[in-house]
Every structure is written in structure tokens, then in C-alpha cells.
């Protein structure tokens, strides 16, 4: 190639241009490495870890020589740790491609590399941190460009090179790991700007630069750990562990103790033990000298970092014996002006006395806030068995991401040495308190992009009914005998309305109860569309009677009132508004309904054919103060037993027969087109429709016709079972509010709205369709036509069948005396229009709306109300 612009191969990176070329090389290598398999990656990871481990001693020597800080033998441990513990922690962790697969839930997780990591390495751990970051990069298929600290560049680069050579030898693309040979602030900034992610370990300035670079960054901040020694602690263990920790590599690990705060009762013991083990207590004059040497213009003096006491003392202008381990300054102030309160990164410790455990925590907190170290590490020495509460209080109070208990914090904080579930790392996140994005010990998961492939799954569905459903004309006394023979009940509370009570409907039941020797009382004050107030009264009566069985006898009103009384009786503490809280998924609702049946068994016995309340988990109740109607829904409200005996329905007046009979029709239709419909509810809904078309006219015209009454009773319960599980739709939402605002019987309100709602739902291109995983496309039209055909409607096209079906429903309404419009029921036009906006909004918010196949807009509901009022589009 004779490209004049072709550059010379770069040997060292010392300028913006050479850095660009190196970055391009790393990028190219990384692109190739991204195609490697887990197996290949693991082999490379292993080879690199072994090579780093082999070089632990020369690298340690080199680091100490170059930086003049720390202790060779301890740096050997750090290098060894960075190779061995990191390898061991991740050897079997999946980091390439599919890392997790859950076919049941349909979730697959795929790990992909991020690209090129910019690694900023500190002087304090120049080789171990380099090894650590390079190994993480290899394991995650990332490239890495290292920006060493100017004072430690040779050793950092040597470490990186060892890892790179071993990796390439094991098959990694050449050039995957790169570094800046001549570091400067400008170069570091550029490295950070060009990389795909920054992994910055260092002082606050460096971390801030990383976060400000515009590149996603994992920067971790400065430590300043306090060790609180409670009076319950094992002092000898505590002090010796702290000395061991503090002297490790001359105090250069960021998690190292900088301060001891000892309880006054053990303060002297702590002090004595420190002295006994070779620590030096500074006198006042020496303390001042140290203070002046330690901080220069508020910043830590680099000359004392990682030094032994003898060296520090000399720098400060006094002498201590050669073998002193730590210089200890007894101090009181926790303010920013107290140099001893700061992070020292060397063999100097502050010692505070606290009057109580409380005060010790106060001091530790003040130090974090005033002198730095928020988010990093704190430690507590305490009796772990008998003082659990102190541990939790301490954990609660400290704004640090590592809270170590009875553990030397330097080697304890980096993980896996004193606690084997604690992630090993040389980069420790400090959370938002430390201005960081990560609060854990940084590991491979922070260097991967994880894709989640989520496949569509359908919600679990169910079919539930009361435990026992008895039916057949005349079954009531037989079914009730279970109360004594099987259930062994002793006290029955019978809920009904005054009409039914006065007309002797309760007699069959009370006679049978007397027969069986079961005590009972009757509550007969239920009004139509029962209110919360009356339910509360009933519950009060229950509380004084203490029944073990509640029987609700009557239409929807008595059964619903009975259910609410039952709840209030079993759970006087339950809040009604909580129970009425709207939900999207009954199984995930925020409010957990109280558990029912602890005190009483619940039996529902309908006297009208319509609501299906005897088999539903719903109860509709009106708040007497606002007039709002609330449909409560929870399977806890499902009766335990339902007894459907036609004998009780023979005398239902025409109006009730028509209204409640048509209500059942609407239940069946709404359940069938509900987004939650299932094969189990479909079969019941269709059968119910067939029976209603065939029998409602007769039941209406000739109330004495037993067969028609019986079929209507069955239809109503079947429709109830269908909507108990598939739920209803927007026709009921609208009917609830229309009934509440303008006092129309529930069934009539539904009848007036039904065909308009069906037309609305049947649209093939609805503005919005219902949201439910199994509802795949708008198919209400087709579903209505299935109903139509099962009910004998025929036609050429779906449109034709649908129109004929609507006509058939309208004809049924006419036969049973239901008028055409809301206006025909004498609802005042002005009153209707005045309420319209509020009514539309309330209907939209009704619990029944969620299962509707078309998700309604409030304006659409409003338009349907108007249409139903006038009988024509307005």
C-alpha cells in the first residue's frame, strides 16, 4: 500500500495522535474479541490470572520502588489477591452471550461487552488494581486502555503488559489491552472522553472528572472508615485486628480504619492494648506537628502516604523508635479543621472517646459528613450474639455502603477474605452518598450490557366457584341440612330485606333451622341498592350475636349487603375505601383483602334471577354520603355455598323478573367478550344466553311457569359463574353510575345501554383496544357473532349477523316491557345533562371497565350515554 498518510506503528503513547492510534487498535482487537465464545474467554482469563499471579513478587517490588510507598510483602498479597480471588470468583460466571434462560417465564438474558474501558489506576495500588481491571476486561470481552498515575506508571504498565502478553498467548487478539506511556491530565481526560465506559479508582478529583466526562462512568470515591468499639466488644481482638489492618501496606487500602471511636468504659483498655502492641501515643506537641505535616492547604500531603511511623515522625520533626507500628492521636473535635479526622492513607490513627454508643455513632457520622468518606466503609466491634440490635442501629445510621462487623476493614472491605459471600474487588462503590453510580464492590456485572429478551406470555387464568352450589326446585331444606350434619354450625345470622321478611320468605329457612336446633336471628333492614351505613348496622348486630354462619337471602341487594356485613363482622378494622381501591390485575392489587371465613361461613340464597351474586366475588355498595356506587371485588367475597331454589322465585313481580333477567343476559354477553374470557366461562355464558332468550318472555308473561322460572334461575347463576371469572365490561360501568345518579333499577340501566355498547365494542378499528396479554386483536365483533349463532341467528356476513343479533336483543327487551330510552323512564333532561360529565368520568373509572375489549375514552362514554338518553345520535 502506498498510502502517503499511513502512520508509523506506534510504540509509545505520548501524545493525542498516538493515543488515537492506540485506541483504534484496541477497538479493532475488541471487535474481534467480542465474537469469542465463553470457553475461549475463560481460557484467556485463566491464563492471564496465572501470569499475574506468577509476577506478584517482582511487581510488588517494582511498585514499592517506584512510588516509595507501602510494603513489598503486603503488595505481594494484594497482587496475589487480585489474580487469585478475582479468578476464583468469576471462573464459572457466564459473561458471554446467553447467561440466563427461563423458558417458563419466557425470559432470556444476553451479556454483551461494552467496548473499551478507560481504567484510571491510583498510586496506592498501582499493580493490583491494574491486574484486577485487566482481568475483569478480559472476562467481559472488553478492551481496556489504562491511564496510570504519573508516579506509578512504570509498575502499572508492567502489570498490564504481563496480563496482555499472557492473554494474547492464550489466544486473545493482539492489542486488546493498551496504556498511556506518558500520562498527563490532558491524556487522562482524553482517554475518558473516548472510551465507552470509565472505571475510575482514585481521589475525589479524579472521580469527579470521570463523571463529568460525558462517558458513562463507574467512579469510586475516597474512604475514611471509623471503627466504633462498643463496650461489649472483645477489646484484644478489636485492637489487634485494627493494628493489623491499619499497618497493611502502610494503610493504603481505601477501606482502612482512619479513626477509632471507643466507648468510655473500654477506652483505657483500648489505649493500653494499643500501646502494648507497639503503637505510639502522640503528645500534644507531636499531635500539632503531625497535623501541620498531614494536611497542606486542606489536602493530604502525598509524602506521608504509605509510610511507616518513623518516616512520618521525621518529616514532622520528631523522633519515634524504628519499630513503632502506628502513630495514635487522641483527639476530640470531629470538625473539618481537625486533621486527624481526615483520611490519612498512612500509619496514623485518630482515637476518640464516646460517652455512649449513641455518641459514638454521632461522632462517626460527623466525621463522615465533615471530613469525608461518605458512602465508603465503617466498622463496628461489638458482641455479635447479644447485641444484635446495636448492629442494626449502627447499620441504619451509617451512610456507608460497607458496614463491617468485627472485621479488620482494609482486607475486610475488599471482600472474600473475612466474609465469603462478599464480592472481591479493588474498586469499591460508594453509592450516591459518595457521588458514585455504584454502591457495591465493582465486578463483572458492571462491565456488561445485559439484554433481556422477554417473550410474550399469557397471564395465568382461573375458574372458581363457591365450594358448594346446590340447585333444583325445592332443594333449600335439603341443602340446609348440611349446616348441622356436615358443617356443625350453631348460630345463624340471616340477612334479608323487609319485603321478603314480611312476606314469609325466611320461613322455610327459619323453620328448618329450628328443626335442626340451630339458633338464629334475622336482620331484615336491607334496602334496595344497599348503603354502607346499613351494612355497618348489620355488622354491629352480627358482632353482638356472634354467628358462625351468615345466610343472605334475597335479590342482589340483600346478598351484596350480606357480603359487606360479613367483611365488617370478621374485620372491623378493614377500611372500606381500601377495599374499593381500583386495580388492573386482581392478583396483583395493592390492597390485600382480609382473609374471610375465620368467624363465619357464608351462604347466599337468591330470590331473584339475575345478579348471580350468589356465585360472584363482587358486592355493589353505595356510600350514602356521596351517593357513589362501589363494586367491590375479591375472591374473599365469594360465598362458601350457594343455594338456588326456584320455589323462592315464583312470586317475583314482572318488573323484577324483567330487570334482573336482562341483567343476567348482560352478564353473559359482557363475560363472553371480556378480555379475560376462557373456555370455561364461554360455555356457561353461551348456555345462559340460550336459556334467557328461550325462557325470559315466558317467565315474564306467566310467572307461574315453573319450567321457565327454573331455567331463568339456572341461567342467572351460570352467567354469574361466567362473570365471576371473566369479569364484566363498560356496559356495567355505565349502568352502575346511571343507576346511582338517576335511580334506575340495575337491570334496566344495563338494558338501556347494552346495544349501544355492543355496537361500540364491535368496531374493527377501535381507537384503543383492551390491554391484556391474551387479548391479541380486536375481535369483539366475531365474539358477538359466536353468541348470535349459538342463539340461532343466521346470516351471510358477520355484519349482518351482528345487526340481526342486536335486533333480537331489542325485541327481547320489548317483550319484557323495557322501554327504549333513558328519557322514557322519566329522567329529567336537565338533570341528566348536568350530571353527564361527572357520570362519564365515574363510569370510566369503574372497576368493570378494565375487562372491556375496547378501552374507552371518557368522551366515547359520554356519547353513548347521550345516545341512550335520546335514542339517537346527538
Partner 1 sequence: MADVLTFPVPGKLYFKKGSLPVALRELRDVYRVSRAAVTADEAMRHDGRIDAVTRVLQDLGLSYAVNSTSFTAEAAIAFGSHETWDALPETGLRIIIPTRIDTIGAKAWLGADMVILDEDVLHDDTPLPVQRWQILDNARRSLKGENASDYTLAWAVQAMRLVFDGDDSAETLLHAASLARLAYAAAVPGDARMGTEDLLDDAAAALCTTAHALEQRICGYAVTALGDR
Residue 718 site contact among partner 1, ligand NAD, Fe ion, none (CB < 5 to 8 Å, cut-off depends on kind)? partner 1
- The SS3 assignment for 237 reads helix
Q: Residue 555 interacts with ligand NAD (CB under 6 A)? A: yes
Owner of C-alpha cell 504481563: 162
Instruction: Name the pairing type of β-strands 629-633 and 618-622.
Output: antiparallel
- Each residue 485-514 as x (binds ligand NAD by CB under 6 A) or -, in order, gives ------------x-xx--------------
Binding of partner 1 at residue 683 (CB under 8 A)? yes
Of the candidates 463, 576, 591, 772, which one interacts with partner 1 according to CB under 8 A?
A: 463
In our burial notation (b when 16+ CB lie closer than 10 A, e otherwise), range 411-446 reads: bbbbbbbbeeebbbbbbbbbbebbbbbbbbbbbbbb
Burial group, residue 851, by CB count within 10 angstroms (0-12, 13-18, 19+): buried
CB-wise, 178 or 720, nearer to ligand NAD?
A: 720
Cell numbers describing residue 122: 491510583
The string of DSSP codes covering 295-346 is EETTEE-GGGTT--HHHHHHHHT----TT--EEEEE----STT-GGGS---S
Task: Pick the closest to residue 580 from 634, 533, 637, 630 (CA basis).
Answer: 630
> Which residue lies nearer to ligand NAD by CB, 163 or 480?
480
556 near ligand NAD, judged by CB under 6 A: yes
Which C-beta is closer to partner 1: that of 549 or that of 788? 788
How far apart are CB 682 and partner 1 at their closest, in Å?
6
DSSP structural state of residue 520: E
Q: Helices 858-870 and 829-844: crossing angle, nearest 10°?
A: 150
CB closer to ligand NAD out of 89 and 604:
604
Segment contacting partner 1 by CB under 8 A, of 204-212, 407-415, 623-631, 711-719: 711-719
Q: How far is the CB of 560 from ligand NAD (least distance, A)?
A: 5
DSSP secondary structure letter of residue 769: B
Q: Are 321 and 230 in contact (CB under 8 A)?
A: no
Q: Which stretch binds ligand NAD (CB under 6 A): 189-197, 199-207, 451-459, 643-651?
A: 643-651
Interface with partner 1 (CB under 8 A), residue from 74, 257, 286, 682? 682
Selected from 166, 197, 648, 722, the binder of ligand NAD by CB under 6 A is 648
Q: Does 303 bind partner 1 (CB under 8 A)?
A: no
Nearer to partner 1 among residue 356 and residue 459 (C-beta)? 459
Task: Give the span between the Cα atoms of 327 and 536, in whole angstroms.
Answer: 74
3-state class of 464 per DSSP? Answer: coil
Nearest residue (CB) to ligand NAD, 427 versus 750: 750
Q: Which stretch binds partner 1 (CB under 8 A): 277-285, 673-681, 699-707, 857-865?
A: 673-681
Out of 206, 619, 748, 816, the residue judged to bind ligand NAD by CB under 6 A: 619
What three-state secondary structure class fits 813? helix
| Separation of alpha carbons 715 and 47, rounded Å | 75
The one of partner 1, ligand NAD, Fe ion, none whose footprint includes residue 500, by CB under 5 to 8 A per kind, is ligand NAD
- Is 599 near partner 1 (CB under 8 A)? no
The residue from 554, 639, 661, 778 that contacts ligand NAD (CB under 6 A) is: 554
Tell me how far apart the alpha carbons of residues 470 and 644 are, in angstroms, rounded to a whole number: 6
663 belongs to the binding site for Fe ion (CB under 5 A):
yes
Q: Which does 790 bind (CB under 5 to 8 A by kind): Fe ion, ligand NAD, partner 1, none?
A: partner 1
Binding partner of 190, given partner 1, ligand NAD, Fe ion, none, CB within 5-8 angstroms per partner class: none
- The span from the CA of 35 to the CA of 175, in Å, is 16
Region from 103-111, 538-546, 615-623, 859-867 binding ligand NAD, contact rule CB under 6 A: 615-623
Binding partner of 597, given partner 1, Fe ion, ligand NAD, none, CB within 5-8 angstroms per partner class: none
Residues in contact with partner 1, shown as a per-residue x/- string from 771 to 790 under the rule CB under 8 A: ---x--------------xx
Choose the binding region for ligand NAD from 155-163, 591-599, 657-665, 863-871 (rule: CB under 6 A): 657-665
Say whether residue 618 binds ligand NAD (CB under 6 A). Answer: yes
Contact 458, 450 (CB under 8 A): no
Sole window of 161-169, 378-386, 613-621, 671-679 interacting with ligand NAD (rule: CB under 6 A): 613-621
- To ligand NAD, the closest distance from the beta carbon of 654 in angstroms equals 10
Q: Name the grid cell of 12.
A: 509509545
104 binds, among partner 1, Fe ion, ligand NAD, none (CB under 5 to 8 A by kind): partner 1
Contact between 203 and ligand NAD by CB under 6 A: the answer reads no
Enumerate residues 707-746 that contact ligand NAD by CB under 6 A. Answer: 746
Least separation in angstroms between CB 667 and Fe ion: 6
- Contact present, 74 and 249 (Cβ < 8 Å): yes
Of 680, 772, 825, 855, the one binding partner 1 (CB under 8 A) is 680
**In this structure, what C-alpha cell is assigned to residue 588?**
396483583
Phi and psi at residue 644, to the nearest 5°: -110, 105
Q: How far apart are CA 306 and CA 312, in angstroms?
A: 10
**Three-state DSSP class for residue 646:** helix
Residues 847, 621 contacting (CB under 8 angstroms) = no
Of 416 and 529, the one with the shorter C-beta distance to ligand NAD is: 529
How far apart, in whole angstroms, are the C-alpha atoms of residue 229 and residue 227? Answer: 6
Using CB under 5 A as the binding rule, whether residue 194 contacts Fe ion is answered as no
Q: Which residues pair with 604 in a beta bridge?
A: 552, 642
H/E element holding 288?
Answer: helix 284-294
Q: Does 464 bind partner 1 (CB under 8 A)?
A: yes
Closest to Fe ion by CB, 136 vs 619, is 619
Q: Smallest distance, Å, CB 614 to Fe ion? A: 13
Catalytic residues: 254
Strand 491-497 relative to strand 618-622: parallel, antiparallel, unpaired? unpaired
Exposure string of 15-25, with b = 16+ CB inside 10 Å and e = fewer, is eeebbebbbeb
Per-residue DSSP letters for 820-843? Answer: S-TGGGT--HHHHHHHHHHHHHHH
Residue 651 sits in the site that holds ligand NAD (CB under 6 A): yes
Helix (H) or strand (E) holding 125: none
584 three-class SS: coil
Q: How many CA atoms lie within 13 A of 793 on its CB side?
A: 24
Tell me how far apart the alpha carbons of residues 549 and 486 are, in angstroms, rounded to a whole number.
Answer: 13
CB of 582 to ligand NAD, least distance (A): 17
- In the DSSP assignment, the letter for residue 472 is S
The site partner of 468 among partner 1, ligand NAD, Fe ion, none (C-beta below 5 to 8 Å per kind) is partner 1
- Paired residues of 328 in beta bridges: 281, 349
User: Least distance (Å) from partner 1 to the CB of residue 471?
Assistant: 6
Among 691, 744, 780, 868, binds partner 1 (CB under 8 A): 691
Q: Which stretch binds Fe ion (CB under 5 A): 441-449, 492-500, 614-622, 662-670?
A: 662-670
Calculate the CA dihedral of residues 539, 545, 549, 554 and round it to 10 degrees.
-60
Residue among 127 and 611 whose Cβ is closer to ligand NAD: 611
Residue 770 host element (H or E): none
Among the residue ranges 100-108, 393-401, 486-494, 763-771, the one whose residues contact partner 1 (CB under 8 A):
100-108
Q: Work out how close the CB of 681 gets to partner 1 at its nearest, in angstroms, rounded to a whole number.
A: 9
Residues that bind partner 1 (CB under 8 A): 103-106, 457-465, 467-472, 474-475, 478-479, 678-680, 682-684, 686-688, 690-691, 711, 714-715, 718, 774, 789-790, 792
Residues that bind ligand NAD (CB under 6 A): 497, 499-500, 528-529, 554-558, 560, 607-608, 610-613, 616, 618-620, 648-649, 651-653, 656, 659-660, 663, 746-747
Residues that bind Fe ion (CB under 5 A): 663
Amino acid at each position: 500500500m502506498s498510502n502517503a498518510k499511513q502512520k508509523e506503528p506506534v510504540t509509545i503513547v505520548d501524545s493525542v495522535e498516538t493515543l488515537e492510534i492506540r485506541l483504534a487498535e484496541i477497538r479493532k482487537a475488541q471487535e474481534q474479541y467480542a465474537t469469542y465464545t465463553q470457553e475461549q474467554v475463560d481460557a484467556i482469563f485463566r491464563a492471564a490470572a496465572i501470569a499475574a499471579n506468577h509476577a506478584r513478587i517482582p511487581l510488588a517490588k517494582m511498585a514499592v520502588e517506584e512510588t516509595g510507598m507501602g510494603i513489598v510483602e503486603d503488595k505481594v498479597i494484594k497482587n496475589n489477591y487480585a489474580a487469585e480471588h478475582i479468578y476464583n470468583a468469576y471462573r464459572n460466571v457466564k459473561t458471554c452471550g446467553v447467561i440466563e434462560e427461563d423458558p417458563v417465564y419466557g425470559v432470556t438474558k444476553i451479556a454483551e461487552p461494552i467496548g473499551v474501558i478507560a481504567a484510571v489506576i491510583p498510586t496506592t495500588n498501582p499493580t493490583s488494581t491494574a491486574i484486577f481491571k485487566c482481568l475483569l476486561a478480559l472476562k467481559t470481552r472488553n478492551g481496556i486502555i489504562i491511564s496510570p498515575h504519573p508516579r506509578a506508571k512504570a509498575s502499572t504498565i508492567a502489570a498490564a503488559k504481563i496480563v496482555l502478553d499472557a492473554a494474547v498467548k492464550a489466544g486473545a487478539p493482539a492489542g486488546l489491552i493498551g496504556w498511556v506511556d506518558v500520562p498527563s491530565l490532558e491524556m487522562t481526560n482524553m482517554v475518558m472522553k473516548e472510551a465507552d465506559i470509565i472505571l475510575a479508582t482514585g481521589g475525589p478529583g479524579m472521580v469527579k472528572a470521570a463523571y463529568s466526562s460525558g462517558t458513562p462512568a463507574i467512579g469510586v470515591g475516597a474512604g475514611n472508615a471509623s471503627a466504633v468499639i462498643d463496650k461489649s466488644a472483645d477489646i484484644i481482638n478489636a485492637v489487634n485486628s485494627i493494628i493489623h489492618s491499619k499497618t497493611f501496606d502502610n494503610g493504603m487500602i481505601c477501606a482502612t480504619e482512619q479513626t477509632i471511636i471507643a466507648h468510655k468504659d473500654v477506652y483505657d483498655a483500648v489505649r493500653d492494648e494499643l500501646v502494648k502492641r507497639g503503637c505510639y501515643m502522640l503528645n500534644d506537641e507531636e499531635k500539632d506537628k503531625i497535623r501541620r505535616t498531614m494536611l497542606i492547604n486542606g489536602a493530604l500531603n502525598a509524602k506521608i502516604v504509605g509510610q511507616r511511623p518513623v518516616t512520618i515522625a521525621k518529616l514532622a520533626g520528631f523522633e519515634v523508635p524504628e519499630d513503632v507500628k502506628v502513630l495514635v492521636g487522641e483527639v476530640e473535635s470531629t470538625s473539618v479543621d481537625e486533621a486527624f479526622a481526615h483520611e490519612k492513607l498512612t500509619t496514623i490513627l485518630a482515637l476518640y472517646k464516646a460517652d455512649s454508643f449513641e455518641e459514638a455513632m454521632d461522632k462517626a457520622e460527623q466525621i463522615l459528613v465533615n471530613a469525608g468518606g461518605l458512602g465508603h466503609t465503617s466498622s463496628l466491634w461489638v458482641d455479635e450474639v447479644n447485641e444484635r440490635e446495636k448492629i442494626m442501629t449502627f447499620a441504619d445510621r451509617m451512610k456507608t455502603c460497607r458496614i463491617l462487623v468485627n472485621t479488620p476493614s482494609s482486607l475486610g472491605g475488599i471482600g472474600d477474605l473475612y466474609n465469603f459471600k462478599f464480592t472481591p474487588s479493588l474498586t469499591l462503590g460508594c453509592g450516591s452518598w459518595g457521588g458514585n453510580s455504584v454502591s457495591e464492590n465493582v465486578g463483572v456485572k458492571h462491565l456488561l450490557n445485559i439484554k433481556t429478551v422477554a417473550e410474550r406470555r399469557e397471564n395465568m387464568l382461573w375458574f372458581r366457584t363457591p365450594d358448594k352450589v346446590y340447585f333444583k326446585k325445592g332443594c333449600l331444606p335439603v341443602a340446609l341440612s348440611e349446616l348441622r350434619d356436615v358443617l356443625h354450625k350453631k348460630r345463624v345470622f340471616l340477612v334479608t330485606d323487609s319485603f321478603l321478611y314480611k312476606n314469609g320468605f325466611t320461613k322455610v329457612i327459619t323453620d328448618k333451622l329450628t328443626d335442626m336446633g340451630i339458633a338464629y336471628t334475622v336482620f331484615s333492614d336491607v334496602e334496595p341498592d344497599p348503603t354502607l351505613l346499613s351494612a355497618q348496622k348489620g355488622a354491629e348486630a352480627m358482632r353482638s350475636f356472634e354467628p358462625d354462619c351468615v345466610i343472605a337471602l334475597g335479590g342482589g341487594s340483600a346478598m351484596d349487603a350480606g357480603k359487606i356485613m360479613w367483611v365488617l363482622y370478621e374485620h372491623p378494622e378493614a377500611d372500606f375505601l381500601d377495599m374499593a381501591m381500583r386495580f388492573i390485575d386482581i392478583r396483583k392489587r395493592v390492597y390485600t383483602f382480609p382473609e374471610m371465613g375465620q368467624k363465619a361461613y357464608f351462604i347466599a340464597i337468591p330470590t331473584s334471577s339475575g345478579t348471580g351474586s350468589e356465585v360472584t366475588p363482587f358486592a355493589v355498595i353505595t356510600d350514602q354520603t356521596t351517593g357513589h356506587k362501589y363494586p367491590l371485588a375479591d375472591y374473599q367475597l365469594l360465598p362458601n355455598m350457594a343455594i338456588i331454589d326456584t320455589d323462592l322465585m315464583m312470586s317475583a313481580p314482572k318488573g323484577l323478573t324483567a330487570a334482573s333477567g336482562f341483567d343476567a343476559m348482560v352478564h353473559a354477553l359482557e363475560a363472553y367478550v371480556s378480555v379475560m374470557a376462557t373456555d370455561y366461562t364461554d360455555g356457561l355464558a353461551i348456555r345462559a344466553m340460550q336459556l334467557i332468550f328461550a325462557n325470559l318472555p315466558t317467565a315474564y308473561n306467566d310467572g307461574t311457569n315453573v319450567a321457565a322460572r327454573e331455567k331463568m334461575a339456572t341461567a342467572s347463576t351460570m352467567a354469574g359463574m361466567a362473570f365471576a371469572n371473566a369479569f364484566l365490561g363498560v356496559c356495567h360501568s355505565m349502568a352502575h353510575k346511571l343507576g346511582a345518579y338517576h335511580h334506575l333499577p340495575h337491570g334496566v340501566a344495563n338494558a338501556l345501554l347494552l346495544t349501544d355498547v355492543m355496537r361500540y365494542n364491535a368496531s374493527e378499528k377501535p381507537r384503543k383496544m383492551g390491554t391484556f396479554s391474551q387479548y391479541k386483536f380486536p375481535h369483539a365483533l366475531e365474539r358477538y357473532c359466536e353468541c348470535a349463532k349459538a342463539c340461532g341467528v343466521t346470516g351471510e356476513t358477520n355484519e349482518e349477523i351482528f345487526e340481526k343479533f342486536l335486533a333480537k336483543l331489542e325485541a327481547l327487551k320489548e317483550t319484557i316491557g323495557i322501554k327504549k330510552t333513558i328519557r322514557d323512564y322519566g329522567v329529567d333532561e336537565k338533570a341528566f345533562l348536568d350530571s353527564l360529565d361527572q357520570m362519564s368520568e365515574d363510569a370510566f373509572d369503574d372497576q368493570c371497565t378494565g375487562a372491556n375489549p375496547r378501552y374507552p375514552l371518557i368522551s366515547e362514554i359520554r356519547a353513548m350515554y347521550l345516545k341512550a338518553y335520546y335514542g339517537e345520535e346527538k
